[in-house]
A = this chain, B = another copy of it.
Amino acid sequence: MGLTIDTAMLYNRFMRAEIISIGTELLLGHIVNTNAAYLARKLAETGIDLYHQMTVGDNPLRLYESLRRTLDRSDIVITTGGLGPTVDDITIRTVAKLLNRRLIPKGVKWLRNKVGTAPGLIAEHKGKIIICLPGPPRELEPMFANDALPYLRKKSGGWTLLSRAIKTTGLAESQVNAKVKDLLDIKPPTTVGIYAKLGEVTLKVMSKAKGKKAARRDIARVEKTVVSRLKNNIFGYDDQTLEEAVGKALRKKKRTIAVAESCTGGLVSSRITNVSGSSDYFLMGTVTYANKAKEKILGVPKEALKKRGAVSKEVAAMMAKGVRKLAGAYIGIGITGIAGPTGGTAKKPVGLVYIALVTDKKRIVRECRFRGSRKEIKFQASQVALDMIRRNA
């Protein structure tokens, strides 16, 4: 796991930045420092080397010491937090002291805060750059993206690091790994990393180059090979979600869909309808936990429920058939299983889920055995269901 970037070789040509995160609540673990990851990613994309990140409490003395040391060894220091009235503005006061100015006057660029009250700033001092940003992510992110980033881009001399995420479902991490093993070893300036999360494996192609055009060209070359190996296991790129891919596939073929859920409890419908405009193809969803509801709403015969059990291939298919008919949809989906943590038996353990897809021409039922918590089992089942729709639209 992780990228195999040779830091020394790649980075010594770039400007060097550090992040100082300010806030006692970070040191108490009350909040997770997502700002650091956001800024790190953006700096990397701009070809700026993030050398070090540190977190300090709301303490002017410690902050002063950290700022001083950081400016000694790096070109850029970015602070987050400690701005504004509530925490008594320790950042600005400390920066002013460092720059030997009573109040920070002209010569600095104030950054407007369109969401909150505390402004940020950019100061240049003896060839170094100090950028102060607010703590709340929804204030920090637009301020950094709109004001600080264009400024840094100019300063960084045109180096850029671009990345492209190629997202797959339907294969385990080890299977994806086997298909692209040689690519994971390619050397900078273009590299490939593999990242797995529940029900999804992503390949990340990264390239550093002078200018976006060159980086894009290097990425496209590797991407072409990846696509030829992973084919239709790829559902999307970068920020695209599986539910968006489902919407795209249904729209392209002008298909409509209806979903009958039991153990996933509405999660599949909710994910499909997270996509704007999904009302064009999503006709109906039902969540039928009780057998009675399966009979009454979906027309699943009592006999089948009795003979095969509610968690069975047959019932999944009948649920799909029933909801399809009820809604007048082209595709019907039926899902039944045991999300746990209770309710499992030796024959039908927790994690056993049947997922059926029925159209007028197809009838596919998959038997899945998932592991994890109730929510993880629900999610994995929804992932397989969405992937079945994407592949069979």
Contacts and interface: CB of A to CB of B under 8 A. Distances in A.
Nearest to A35: B32
Contacts of A285: 265-266, 285-287
A2 interface: yes
Given A269-B287, A270-B270, A277 B25 contact: no
Interface in A206-221: none
In this complex, the member of A3, A29, A54 whose beta carbon has the largest number of chain B beta carbons within 10 angstroms is A29
A224 to B, nearest CB: 23
Interface stretch (A95-103, A125-133, A288-296, A363-371): A288-296
Given A33-B33, A267-B270, A289 B293 contact: no
Contacts of A50: 27-29
A40 B23 CA distance: 12
A146 interface: no
Interface string A25-48: 111111111101111111110000
Contact of A268 (B25, B27, B33, B266): B266
A327 interface: yes
Interface residues of A, number: 79
Looking at chain A's contact residues, is the secondary structure mostly helix, strand, loop, or mixed? mixed
B37 A53 contact: no
A51 B269 CA distance: 46
A52 interface: yes
A41 B28 contact: yes
A374 interface: yes
A39 B34 contact: no
A327 B5 CA distance: 58
A55 B37 CA distance: 11
Interface string A43-70: 1100000111111111100100000000
B1 A86 contact: yes
A24 B44 contact: no
A25 B1 CA distance: 10
B297 A293 contact: no
Given A1-B86, A261-B266, 8 more contacts: A2-B23, A3-B28, A29-B37, A265-B274, A269-B287, A284-B289, A286-B287, A297-B297
Interface of A: 1-3, 5, 7, 23-34, 36-44, 50-59, 62, 86-87, 193, 195, 204, 259, 261, 264-270, 272-274, 276-279, 282-290, 293, 296-297, 326-327, 339-342, 374-375, 378
